[in-house]
Amino acid sequence: MWSGVKPTMSMVNTTYLDAIENVIDLYADYGIYVILDMHQDALSSLYGAYDGIPLWLSPDWDMAPYLTYECANGAQQLYNNVSGAWNHWGEFWEIVARRFGGKSNMLGYELINEPPPGNFYTNPLRGLPVLRDWGVNVIRLALSWFELKPLENETNWEYVDVIERIVDNAGLYGIYIILDLHQDGLSRRLGAIDSVPHWFMDKIGRAPHYLQYPWPLTRDPSVNEWFLTYATYESGHVFESIYKNVSGIWRYLGEYWMIMTERFGNKRNLLGYNLLNEPAPGNFYKNPFLLLSLLRDWGVNVIRLALSWFELKPLENETNWEYVDVIERIVDNAGLYGIYIILDLHQDGLSRRLGAIDSVPHWFMDKIGRAPHYLQYPWPLTRDPSVNEWFMTYATYESGHVFESIYKNVSGICRYLGEYWMIMTERFGNKRNLLGYNLLNEPAPGNFYKNPFLLLPHNSGGNLLSFYDYLVNMIRETDKETLIFYESVTYGIYFPFVNGIPGTGIQRVPGLLQDKMARKKSVLSYHHYCWILQSERAEDNIPSWKRYICEKILLNYAFSNVKNIIKSTGGGSFLTEFGLCFPDGNPNSINTVECNSVLNAADRNFESWTFWDQYDLFPYLNMNNNSLKSFSRVYPQSTAGHPVELRFDVDTSEFYYAFIPTQQICTNFHIKSVLVVEIFVPMIIHYPNGIRVHLKPEQLFYEIYENDSNFMFVYAPCTLSENTSIQLVEIVITPNHTNSMSNHANFKTHSKFLSMLFFIMKLLSDLCFRHL
């Protein structure tokens, strides 16, 4: 290797040569001949490879593995003897020949391993014959408007000339060209690569301040997650502005294509123009019809919508009604597609002053006051936690101080939280698709530095309950009926009962002292994560011992304990958060095992759920994606009876449901049958060739209607319900594995996906039932 022999221009590495000589001599002892090879693969680390050629030589070339312009250009300059490169190359071989030329087992010298063809970008004769011989006869050539028009009144004709050379040279070898206005996120301002000029972005204008990039994301996506930029409000705003020709901006795109057509329109090998690569749907935050129909088709019937008090009340005496209007549009639009909303006062650490995202207003933090100077954030930590360790902010003294101040209503600050919920209830309390209010996401235990026993949820639950009582009473002043979702500290559900006190420490539902019907309007909201997996990469296979702990012990205990807690306190339950896993096709990966374990357990326990970090599934989740197949499941949405067993196998798409029916009486003479269960069946995702259905009793029958082909309605004939006592209803759905239609098949498909949050309707003890 040249870089081994000559690490610097003036140094010969004799130690390296000695090592090579030892190897040659060793082979000679066994009669093995040697070919000395000047080895390289893509030349240099400067081109993403290892250093086959010394770095001291490479910088003498213009810097731009084999397919990159820069590597091709570097090889071309080596061949062209740029900066006297041949002298150095000859010197290398002279050193090698002098040292090893007399070896008896020296068979020969290979001057350079796998030489690149040279700069086939500027001279296609070097690369295009290979493409032709491989059968390539069309290239989609990505064009950059950003390069073409760096300034509004300036055209980069040199760029156009380069494109023309490529087009003409491809034509010499019978290769057609598609000119593609390429973009993947439009602009660096939207977290992507600059595909459109900055001056063009200036003409569109920004979204409102509180909706600007990266909202609703909490950070810039990584390079590997660039597609998440499409999930931001401002990305939708920009695309929508383009599609609606805001400020007449189409003329600039038209001008771009005029330049292209005038230069390339007469090229014989121009196959066509791709007007815009991968266009986004537009502002789906304002226009639900773009995506909400997909959510409905995939089984979504609830969204837990994170609200920001920081955005709602930027100043103490100022309410951002525009923000409320945006939330209302989301709620109303979801309702058009039968999707319910949980309004969630979301926080993960409360405030930037505590090393977290601003969830509560700065003026509210001012009212609480700081901890003593020597105990202020980040004490006892020595530095701010990283983004990936944000949860460590909860371990700081000042975080405990702030939460404790809230729970104890220091200086009467709870009234501000009450005011927040009053605003929400007055605007949203009458919405038919409002499922509930989540009082506070993931509350901390309080100031455990002053009282370490608060780390035990049996003790911290008392703090939370009095705080929740206050908020519930405020909410009930304007909204008497909407469900209240309340949380314990996150780890409370893993603690057992002690002296009759649930592990959460919350001994009754909030608001019960003032409202005796509160049990019927309260839902224990809880989260589940198997934290022993956080040190592993989600793509890796899950160790068997960790799988046993997570799946067989922790997960099963959580669901069992929640059932016991609800029996004690009354009310309902809802798994409002789990995630950090995306089934990836590997049956043994943490991604697949963890997600499917939780989903299967939720089915077994008839538990409702919503998934966290749903924006990671947007926008490239398609019909063949393993994550979509896991999340979009067959499930009963309403049942006239009491569930007994529910199973869905995501691998085989086999579904089983059993329930004890309530006895329905056909009182209307004209009614021939009664609806006993309504089941969501994602046909395209799991049953592209149709379904096979087995019903017990056999007299049951089902209908799937053309206007909503993802719903199966199972009926019992009136003669059966009147004359027979049905002890158990059983429903089995399996795929039809042939291409012929059996019962139902061949529905429209979609290719984009926003989120997968769905809710198996379970309110209190009984599933609801409704007639057609």
CB of 397 within 8 A of CB of 379? yes
pLDDT tier for residue 590 given thresholds of 50, 70 and 90? very high
709/702 Cα distance (integer angstroms) = 12
CB atoms within 10 A of CB 80: 13
- Asked if the model's pLDDT at residue 667 lies above 50, the reply is yes
* Fold for the domain defined by 125-274: TIM Barrel (3.20.20)
**Quick one: average pLDDT of 149-166?**
92
CB of 322 within 8 A of CB of 207? no
**Burial of residue 10, with CB atoms counted within 10 A of its CB: 0-12 exposed, 13-18 middle, 19 or more buried:** exposed
* Mean pLDDT over each residue of the chain, to the nearest integer: 84
**Quick one: average pLDDT of 658-672?**
78
Length of the chain, in residues: 772
pLDDT at 615: 47
pLDDT tens figures, 506-525: 999 999 999 999 999 999 99
pLDDT at 295: 83
**Quick one: average pLDDT of 732-747?**
62
pLDDT tens figures, 526-547: 999 998 988 888 899 999 999 9
- Asked if the model's pLDDT at residue 385 lies above 80, the reply is yes
What string of DSSP letters covers 673-708? Answer: EEEEEEEE--HHHH-TT-EEEEEESTT-EEE--GGG
343/87 Cα distance (integer angstroms) = 73
322/326 Cα distance (integer angstroms) = 6
Q: Which two tokens stand for residue 430?
A: 């009458």
**Quick one: average pLDDT of 403-421?**
95
Higher pLDDT pick, 289 / 480? 480
pLDDT tens figures, 89-111: 678 778 878 887 888 877 777 77
What string of DSSP letters covers 28-82? Answer: HHTT--EEEE---SSS-GGGTS--SS-TTTGGGS----TTSHHHHHHHHHHHTTG
pLDDT tier for residue 374 given thresholds of 50, 70 and 90? very high
pLDDT tens figures, 260-282: 999 999 999 998 988 888 787 77
% of the chain at pLDDT higher than 90: 54
Bridge partners (DSSP) of residue 680 are: 635, 711
CB of 525 within 8 A of CB of 468? no
- Asked if the model's pLDDT at residue 25 lies above 70, the reply is yes
pLDDT tens figures, 42-84: 455 554 555 556 655 554 444 444 456 666 677 777 777 777 7
pLDDT at 51: 55
CB of 51 within 8 A of CB of 57? no
pTM, two decimal places: 0.67
